[in-house]
């Protein structure tokens, strides 16, 4: 029984840390996906307003 009393607190803290980090990484991934979608929409809007013009940096 003493082993449980000794090992339980670090296990619980480790699990809390794992859940916190998992939620942070999931939020970051969602934010990156939303940013990529917004950027793609903005690029498509610019391309629709200026067809035929190169809106990107010069290649070469």
Say what the pLDDT of residue 55 is.
55
CA distances from 45 to 14, 28, 55, 60 (A): 46, 26, 11, 25
Say what the pLDDT of residue 35 is.
97
Say what the pLDDT of residue 57 is.
66
Say what the pLDDT of residue 51 is.
79
Say what the pLDDT of residue 17 is.
98
**Integer Cα distance of 41 and 34 in angstroms:** 11
Per-residue pLDDT of the chain (60 residues), as tens digits, is 899 999 999 999 999 999 999 999 999 999 999 999 999 999 999 999 987 776 566 654
């Amino acid at each position: 029984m003493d082993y449980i009393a000794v090992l339980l607190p670090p296990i619980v803290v480790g699990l809390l840390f794992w859940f916190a980090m998992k939620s942070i990484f999931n939020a970051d991934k969602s934010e990156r996906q939303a940013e990529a979608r917004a950027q793609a929409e903005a690029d498509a809007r610019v391309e629709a307003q200026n067809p035929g013009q190169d809106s990107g940096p010069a290649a070469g």
